[in-house]
Structure 1
Amino acid sequence: MECSNLLEAALKKGTISNSLFQGSSDKELVTDLQRTLFELGFRKELKWDNYQADGDYGKATAVAVAAFAQRNNHSSDGKVITDDLAKLILQRHDFLPEMYVLWQIHTSDLRTKKYISKGTKMSITAIQVFLNTEGYGEQLNFAKYGADGFYGNSTRNAVVKYASDHNINSDGDLLSRPLIDLFLNDINRYYGSKWTDLAEQNLPSRKSPLVLFEASNFSGKPCRADEEFVPALEKINGYAKQANVFVHVTSSFRTTTNVRGAIVKPATFSNHLAGHGIDMNVRYGNGGWANSKVLAKYPNVPEPVKYFLKLIIDDPKLRWGGNFNTTDPVHIDDHLNKDRAAWKKRYEAMQKAVQLGEV
């Protein structure tokens, strides 16, 4: 989902209100805001069918911003984006992949699902993310475990408490229709009325190149990738298993933007845009966590992490971002962009499938 990377970069600079306001001349940043609001479901407010993402922060964009703010209990007339509002927009956008997973469960035949504990790590992670946003972090022991995709007593207790607070009987495991309906009702409160319109194309289908990669030693956010990147991901998982670590995905495939149905030429040839790169942290031992600051110290890192990174570095078909000229120690890819023609082909296939539903 990550068309919002320009918003994120602007927020990191501080005082985003200097750049994002009604009448702003920063068309590129405004376009990113509009695309993000569109993905958040505010198509009607943006008058998307008339204007799409045109880079003009006018009345329609202000209305969409105000509508988002109201749904998220934030006071705003929509005419300016403050740092706090930008953080909220980015947070809700960041949650969308997990919300799509919950939407997919909601639309499925629950007789084939039945139990949370029998679900995939991805579905369990989505439930954990959702319950944490609803205020059940204490029951989840979220500060310690985060959204790890493992079903245990903490997740069970959080589901029981959530259901009980809404007058639903639950053993914390059975995926009942009232429970999953409640999930979706609560999710809908934060998003625009059209947020589910993009759900199907953001999930795998028979003809789409998009996959949600799952494996024994992967956790974290849904790993959205091009089907042709799967062999590399399987190798990465194998190395993680060999080193006895877990790859905690923080970012994978990213969308750019489109103008009236045409995928725009990107500013960079990032492998994320073609579904051929991941950003990650590494979990090891009993609660050990290697984030970007830790990974940047390689080779002076905990032994399991060192072993894992060495396996990645020594693989001739993989790249670790810690060795880039501009270091990016959380990044792993397959160097697809060394062949610009091959990169462009996968970029267009993935962006058209996910953004436009063209497969």
Structure 2
Amino acid sequence: MPARALKAFIRRLTPDAPGARPNAPTVHALDGSLLGLYRADGSQSRAQFEQQTLPLFRALHRSAVQRQAVTAEPAMQALLEAITRACQRAANERLPRGGQVTDYRRYETLYNYALISAMAIAWHMDVARLERGGQVAVAENFLPPEGLARLQREALVWAHWQAFFEGGDDGGLRDVAGRSALPGQSETTRAQPVRQTTAKTPPGSHAPVPEANTQGTLFVRPDRSQWAQPLARGWVLVEAIREGLQDGSLPYNRKKAWVQVDREGRTFLQVPEVFEWCCERLDMDVPPKTLVNQFGRLNICTRTRKGQNLLRGGRRNQKHYQQGFVVEDPALFWDGDPPADEFYIRHLTRHGFGQPSANPASQAE
């Protein structure tokens, strides 16, 4: 979104200053910080940012003004800048940490929003000196209904969001946020007992239970026992790709590189470009499609339950998708630890080859 257009809708949602001319856009001190957050997040569409993120910071700003008007704007700017830096760090993380989650796009957008909202609610609990354990009640007051429902929709995300405040495994949220202390006032600093607040559960439904992998049923990751026998033709392609990555003739982790790898060694091979490279490297007199088929028959790639490969696409701009193979076993291409460079594989989707480009947009929710 152009900066001018974003600023226009931010100002439209920001209450006018007293004495402002009717219909004149208000220049708000937080415009620049909000724009920086929108860009750093990179996962929310304009509509999502307008409906789920801006109302949160508007409510926090109103509360800060009521608490101490003189320091409200500098404090809010500092908060927005801290969250912006956390979103920049999150761009090089695969959240949740330690989870076998292959649908990157779905979880990336959810965990970015969990990070933003958790840091914002934690800040309010600190400055307002609220007791620890009341984060859900605070969230119900400050988060728009759409945003709260989005967090609670996925059991794993909601459990990690609450763990951000309570301690324990939060999927890496506190670490990415750069926070060690738990939000709010503990019993040692506040005479009142800690109030235990739980999420409101709609009638007829059950409270979400954390699962190790809520999307595991959507993907098939073959184990070593299912790989093709060692003499299969496709293994020469694995060795060629491995050598190309090691000697630098096959670049990786650049913005338009055909190979992308994350910090756990999960590797994306773009089709057909990587196999056109293999044709030249091995001087093979066969079309690249033949090599693609040989590689696919090795059964080393993660696929959907329907046997489709995965796509890689832009975070917010979802119109441009690259098709490719996803290989999760790092031992196939990397010696020791995989490279720790910046990676772009973070935005994989479950959509298979040949599906309309409009469909993956629905997975950004």
Considering Cα pairs closer than 8 Å and 6+ residues apart, tell me whether 1 or 2 has the greater RCO: 2
Same structural fold, with TM-score higher than 0.5 when normalized by the shorter chain:
no
Instruction: Kindly indicate which of the two structures has a greater share of residues assigned to strand.
Output: 1
Task: Compare CA radii of gyration and give the structure with the larger one.
Answer: 2
Normalising by structure 2, what TM-score?
0.27
Instruction: Kindly indicate which of the two structures has a greater share of residues assigned to helix.
Output: 1
Normalising by structure 1, what TM-score?
0.28
